[in-house]
Amino acid sequence: MAVNPKGVVLDIEVPLPAGFRFKDVLAFHDRDKEQVSERVYTYAEFSSSPQLVNSLDKAMLWDGFAACLRIHFISNIAKVSLHIDTEKPRISAATREGWSLRLEGLSRRMLGLDQDVEEFEKAVAGHRELASLVYRRSGLRVPQSASPFEALCWAVTGQQISVNAAISIRRRFIQSLGVAHSQGLLCHPDPASLAASKVEQLRSLGLSIGKANTLLALAAAIESKELAILDNKEKLGDESADAIRAALLAIRGIGPWTVNYVLLRGLGYLDGSLHGDVAVRRNLQLLLGREVKITAEETQVWLAQFSPWRALVAAHLWAMQSGDGF
Fold of 2-113: TATA-Binding Protein (3.30.310)
Predicted confidence at residue 326, as pLDDT, reads 47
The reply to whether 2-113 and 148-270 are identical in fold is no
- 199's enclosing H/E stretch is helix 199-203
Model pLDDT for residues 244-275, shown as the tens digit of each residue: 999 999 999 999 999 999 999 999 999 999 99
pLDDT tens figures, 279-310:
999 999 999 999 999 999 999 999 999 999 99
Angstrom CA distances, 80 to 42, 154, 177, 261, stand at: 15, 25, 27, 26
What's the confidence (pLDDT) of residue 2? 43
**pLDDT mean over 27-42:** 96
Q: For residue 156, is pLDDT > 90? A: yes
Q: What is the pLDDT of residue 45?
A: 78
Domain ranges (residues) in the chain: 2-113, 148-270
Residue 138 is predicted with a pLDDT of 95
- At residue 52 the predicted structure's pLDDT band, cuts being 50, 70 and 90, is confident
CA torsion sign for 277, 264, 38, 155 is positive
pLDDT of 66 strictly over 50: yes
Strand partners for 11: 81
DSSP readout, 273-309? --TT-HHHHHHHHHHHT-SSPPPHHHHHHHHHTTTT-
Q: Would you state the torsion angle of the CA atoms of residues 10, 194, 186, 20, taken in this order, to the nearest 10 degrees?
A: 60
User: 274, 264 in Cβ contact below 8 A?
Assistant: yes
Condensed to tens digits (0 to 9), the pLDDT of residues 75-128 reads 899 999 999 999 877 889 999 999 999 999 999 999 999 999 999 999 999 999
240 has a pLDDT exceeding 80:
yes
CATH number of 148-270: 1.10.340.30
Query: Does pLDDT of 323 surpass 60?
Result: no
Distance CA 303, CA 5 (A): 52
Q: Quick one: pLDDT band at residue 322, thresholds 50, 70, 90?
A: low
User: CA 24, CA 140: separation in Å to the nearest integer?
Assistant: 8
